Structure 1
Amino acid sequence: MVRLGAAFTLAWTHSVQKSDWQEDWRATPDGLVVVEMRVEGSGAGMEPPEGAVLEGGRYVARPQAAPLKEVMLRRSGATADWRICIDGRCRAMGDMIPADADPVTLALCPDVPG
C-alpha cells in the first residue's frame, strides 16, 4: 500500500497519440473526486470532455463527476507507466510499486494510527 495524500495528479502519455493527459484528484469523505483534467490535443479516443477550454496549449475541463470509491488502473508494460504527482513532484508508478503490479487500485485508506 502506498499513501498518496489528500490531493494528487494522475498523469500518463497516450500510447498512440503520444499526448500527455493529467487529472487532478482529491480524497473526500465520499470517495475520490477528479477536480480538473488537462490534455494536449485530441484524437485516438482522447477527446477533451464537453465544456473543455483551450488554456496554455492544453484542453482544460473541470468535470462534475460523482465521487468514486476506487479507480482501477491497468499497466500493460507495453506503454509508458502511469505517473503520480504530489506537490508538483512526479514519479513513475513503478518507482512506488512492483513493475508487474496489475491492476492497481486507487482507493481511500482508513486512518491508521502510527
Structure 2
Amino acid sequence: MSLCLASAGVVKTLAIAAFTLAWTHSIEKTAWQEDWRVTPQGLQLIEARIKGFGAGMEPPPEARLIDGWFQWDPHRAPQPELVLGNSAAAGDWRLCESGRCATLSEILGHDVGVHVTTLSACER
C-alpha cells in the first residue's frame, strides 16, 4: 500500500506505510500532529497530539501530557480518505515520514493555496 495525494489535478503517490500529519491551528497558533498508518482498509489514525489548548481545540479527558504534548489514541475506524482544506492564517499542512517533513505544496510541486488536498490509501 502507498499514500496517494491529490490536489488541483495533480496526483502524487508516496511509497510509505505510516506518516505524521502536522499543522498549526489557525486561531490559537498551536501545533497539532496526528500519526496515521496506511492500510488496505484505509487510513488508520493511531495517535493525536496537541501542544496546548484553547478555542475549540481541547484535548479529550483521556489525553496525557507527555514531553509538552497532550497525547491520546482517538479509537476511530480507518478512513477511506482525508480531505484537507487550507487556511491562509494557518500555513500549509506538513507531512512527515521517518523524521523528515515537507509541506503539501512541496510534495505536490505546486502551491496548494486554497485547493483541497485528498489523501487516501492506494495500490502502488
- For normalisation by structure 1, the TM-score amounts to 0.90
Tell me the residue number matched to 2:27.
16
SS at match of 2:45: strand
Tell me the residue number matched to 2:119.
106
Where relative contact order (Cα < 8 A, 6+ residues apart) is larger, the structure is 2
Structure 2 residue identity aligned to 1:103 = V
> Do the aligned partners of 2:23 and 2:90 also contact (CA within 8 Å) in 1?
no
Tell me the residue number matched to 1:57.
68
Structure 1 residue 34: deviation in Å? Answer: 0.7
Aligned-residue sequence identity (percent) comes to 47
Structure 2 residue identity aligned to 1:8 = F
1:76 aligns with 2:83: no
Two-structure CA RMSD over aligned residues (Å):
1.4
- For normalisation by structure 2, the TM-score amounts to 0.83
SS at match of 1:96: helix
More strand by share: 2
> Do the aligned partners of 2:29 and 2:90 also contact (CA within 8 Å) in 1?
no
Structure 1 residue identity aligned to 2:101 = C
Structure 1 residue 62: deviation in Å? Answer: 1.2
Gaps of 5+ in 2: 1-10
1:43-93 per-residue CA deviation (whole Å, 9 max, x = no partner) reads: 111111231111111100012100000000002334310000010101111
